[in-house]
Structure 1
Amino acid sequence: WVSLHLFCLFNSLFFFERCPTCMESQNLTAVSEFVLTGLSDDPELQPLLFGLFLSMYLVTVLGNLLIILAVSCDSHLHTPMYFFLANLSLADIGFSTTTIPKMLVNIETHSKSITYAGCVTQVSFFFLFGCLDNLLLAVMAYDRFVAICHPLSYPVMMNPCLCGLLVLVSFFSSFLESQIHCLMVSQLTFCTNVEIHHFFCDAPQLFHLACSDTSIDTILMYFIGAVFGGIPLSGILCSYTRIVSSILRVPSTDGKYKAFSTCGSHLSVVCLFYGTSLGVYLSSSISPSPRKGAVASVMYTVVTPMMNPFIYSLRNRDIKRALWGIIRKTV
């Protein structure tokens, strides 16, 4: 934390030296709000966008809450895999809640503004839940690796203490990343242009708006992304490489199918999450249109959290049985 504060102090002093004309204007340090341009400026599309995103948000929250409820109420689901799944559903709810409600409020009130404090808070929570999703997927991949490659040692290796510790480490690592991005954004100084061509406050967009030199911040942002994104992805790839090699050594076809079915849902979610995320950033680098990048971001910020409950509930007999049990008790 001391090094982070020293970095922020150095960044601010460095900016004072390089941009004295900017710092003479008092307007630069008094930015009270930003303008979110959203997905479309067409007034006729606003009711359609409001209904569409409200429906998707409600489905996301309801679907993930049902998974949490099923895991909590059914004693058969009190296993490490479903414990991690419940935490992933909780992270998906937070991830969607960070961006969609503010967009719905802006559409309903015909306003595009977001306060400076609200923007920084949105950046912080966006990276918190996004990184938590990333780390939990890596933890779930490790859980599947132990279950398939070391089935006899699984109850001992994946004990409740280790499961709780893995979730806590994931949360605090995500919290650390979000606070680093929050500190970087809070050190930026903005000029007269406060339009963010997105439906939420995104750190790269804020770096483009800043009138200070953000080269150090950009390098640090990519470094943090490589650490907190690349390491979990490498762990997932390593786990599934070992899983596939173990499954291929199984002599019977039924045994192979049974082993693949235990990690099929998780593999589908991993492909959806990383496929949409990488697709958005690759498309934004090829086509630098901000509006197209905002539309593409809907895939991993809205669609992926909404699809996760369907993937796990439709492909998992235990979840479906638990949900039907809850419905029967309710009726």
Structure 2
Amino acid sequence: MIPVFDGHNDFLQRLVAPGADPAAIWAEGDGSGHIDLPRLRAGGMFGGFFALWAPSPAGTDGIDWKARQENPPYAVPLDQPIPTGPATEHMLRLAGQLAALERSGTLTICRSVADIETARDQGRIAAILHMEGAEGVADPDVLHLWHTLGLRSLGPVWSRANAHGHGVPFAFPGDPDTGPGLSDQGKALIAECDRLRIMVDLAHLNAKGIEDVARISGAPLVSTHSGAHAVAPSTRNLTDAQLQMIAATGGVVGLNFAAGFVRPDGRRLPFDGFDPYLRHLDHLLTHLGEDGVALGSDFDGALMPNDLADAAALPRLVEAMRAHGYDTPLLEKICWRNWLSLLSRTWQR
């Protein structure tokens, strides 16, 4: 079994749901979602990026947007900005749950590649603390506090605006060139992330924001969970011009598994087999090279296809890539080596 290191999951949200039993969900699994310790081990996933994300208030327009996404074209309005205080409180709850998993002895919050390798060798899940949408960062001092808590990866925005910049809406077909770039506060955030060696994630950021990050940051450009816009023209996917920008820095793109973002028809519906993934991977490899492509599942945050229902099914994807002609050295790069190489160059530790 080729091991997997994953670019993005939203597992922590399940642990703070009303009535949840976090210890049981993690250690035993409750049959819901995509990730728990038994399924990670069954699928060969030894670690990944665990996201802190603050949900928007429930919509009031009465439209079932998930149903609308089943039959494109669609254009979901951006969520409204949310206050920093409640967002920070929610993210601290999530971080607390990750710390509790670390205390259980089954997981390590990793601050270096050496930490990742040690966790893997000792049979613990290697977790990177990632913030998806920087509503939890009110100012640079708070960013330093998060860094002390273990934060090593940050996406300035989710798909809504905040004090730092603008996200892309969920639309198909659509162009990610929507709205202005980073605010002055957002530009300062990127510069401070560089100083702290916090990886900056371009996923969910609009085109002008990505251009701003490219101008400010000296680190490799990264999108943890995206696809190729040329294969599926979702606003959440990266154009060839953006892929070329990432490639020029020696950066990495993790392929998002979300059905609605990888299907060429954009329909938010499950599918059989792995052909959409292989089409995206081929395109990403063409533009990024073998050292620039990885996996970014979006487990517990997106609709999965029928043959990749959860983390335990990851060997099926690996075998589909092998049958497609990817040899073992390339599979290892895509499945885990490229993430560790990228983090080593970004964190410099």
TM-score range, shorter chain: under 0.3
In proportion to residue count, which structure has more helix?
1
How does the TM-score come out when normalised to structure 2?
0.26
Q: TM-score if structure 1 supplies the norm length?
A: 0.27
Could you say which structure has the larger radius of gyration?
Answer: 1
Q: Which has the higher strand share?
A: 2
